[in-house]
Structure 1
Amino acid sequence: MTQFNKPFLAAAMAAIVGVGACADVLAADPIKIGVAVGLSGANSVVAPAVVQSSQLAVEEINASGGILGRQVELEITDDASGAVGAQKAYDTLVFQKNVDAIISMETSAARNAALPIVARGKKPFIYTSFYEGRSCSPWMYVNGWVPEQQVAPVVDYFEKSKGAKTFYLVGNDYAFGRGMLDFTKKYIEQHGGKVVGEEYLPIDGTDWTPILSKIRSVHPDALISATAGGAPNVALAKQLKGSGLTLPYGNLAIDE
Structure 2
Amino acid sequence: MSKFLNSILGAAASSIVLSTAAIAQDDTIKVGVLHSLSGTMAISETTLKDTVLMLIEEQNAKGGVMGKQLEAVVVDPASDWPLFAEKARELITVSDVDVIFGCWTSVSRKSVLPVIEELNGLLFYPVQYEGEESSKNVFYTGAAPNQQAIPATDYFLEELGVEKFALLGTDYVYPRTTNNILESYLKDKGIPAEDIFVNYTPFGHSDWSKIVSDVVALGADGKKVGVISTINGDANIGFYKELAAQGISADDIPVVAFSVGEEELSGLDTTNLVGHLAAWNYFQSADTPENEEFITAWKAFAGEERVTNDPMEATYIGFNMWVQAVEAAGTTDADPVIDAVVGQTFPNLTGGTAEMLPNHHLSKPVLIGEIMEDGQFDIVSETDPVPGDAWTDFLPESAVLESDWKELGCGMYNTETKTCVQMKSNY
Q: TM-score range by the shorter chain?
A: 0.7 to 0.9
Which residue identity does 1:32 align to in structure 2? K
CA distance in 2, matches of 1:157, 1:165: 12
Q: In the alignment, which of 239, 242, 258 is matched to residue 239 of structure 1?
A: 242
Q: Counterpart in 2 of 1:45? A: 43
Q: In the alignment, which of 119, 140, 143 is matched to residue 142 of structure 1?
A: 140
Tell me if the contact between 1:40 and 1:78 (Cα under 8 Å) persists in the aligned partners.
Answer: yes
Which residue identity does 1:232 align to in structure 2? A
Which residue identity does 2:170 align to in structure 1? N
Q: Counterpart in 2 of 1:5? A: none
CA distance in 1, matches of 2:89, 2:150: 38
- Measured after TM superposition, the shift of residue 133 of structure 1 is 0.8
User: Comparing 88-97 with 56-65, which one deviates more in the overlay?
Assistant: 88-97
After superposing on structure 2, the runs of 4+ consecutive aligned residues of structure 1 that deviate more than 6 Å are none
User: Comparing 118-127 with 87-96, which one deviates more in the overlay?
Assistant: 87-96
User: Comparing 123-132 with 188-197, which one deviates more in the overlay?
Assistant: 188-197
Instruction: Note the 1:86-105 alignment, pairs <5 A.
Output: 86-105=84-103
Tell me if the contact between 1:36 and 1:103 (Cα under 8 Å) persists in the aligned partners.
Answer: yes
- Change in Cα spacing, 1:153 to 1:210, as seen in structure 2 (3 Å) is same
Tell me if the contact between 2:149 and 2:258 (Cα under 8 Å) persists in the aligned partners.
Answer: yes
Please state whether the residue corresponding to 2:200 is helix, strand or coil: strand
Q: Which structure has the bigger radius of gyration?
A: 2
Alpha-carbon displacement from aligned partner over 1:12-63 (angstroms, at most 9, x marks no partner): xxxxxxxxxxxxx999431111111111222211223112211110111000
Q: In the alignment, which of 107, 110, 128 is matched to residue 109 of structure 1?
A: 107
Q: Counterpart in 2 of 1:191? A: 189
1:73 equivalent in alignment to 2:77? no
Instruction: Note the 1:26-45 alignment, pairs <5 A.
Output: 28-45=26-43
Please state whether the residue corresponding to 2:41 is helix, strand or coil: helix
Tell me if the contact between 1:36 and 1:106 (Cα under 8 Å) persists in the aligned partners.
Answer: no
Alpha-carbon displacement from aligned partner over 1:161-184 (angstroms, at most 9, x marks no partner): 221111111001101110111111
Q: Counterpart in 1 of 2:157? A: 159
- Measured after TM superposition, the shift of residue 206 of structure 1 is 2.2
Q: Counterpart in 2 of 1:12? A: none
Identity of aligned residues (%): 28
Which residue identity does 2:55 align to in structure 1? A
- Change in Cα spacing, 1:212 to 1:117, as seen in structure 2 (3 Å) is same
Please state whether the residue corresponding to 1:51 is helix, strand or coil: helix
User: Comparing 131-140 with 190-199, which one deviates more in the overlay?
Assistant: 190-199
Question: Greater helix percent: which structure?
Answer: 1
- Change in Cα spacing, 1:249 to 1:103, as seen in structure 2 (3 Å) is same
- Structure 1: tracts of 5 or more residues without a match: 1-24
Q: Counterpart in 1 of 2:378? A: none
Q: In the alignment, which of 226, 231, 234 is matched to residue 230 of structure 2?
A: 226
Which residue identity does 1:236 align to in structure 2? F
Tell me if the contact between 1:166 and 1:196 (Cα under 8 Å) persists in the aligned partners.
Answer: yes
Tell me if the contact between 2:36 and 2:46 (Cα under 8 Å) persists in the aligned partners.
Answer: no
User: Comparing 62-71 with 81-90, which one deviates more in the overlay?
Assistant: 81-90
User: Aligned-pair RMSD on alpha carbons?
Assistant: 1.9
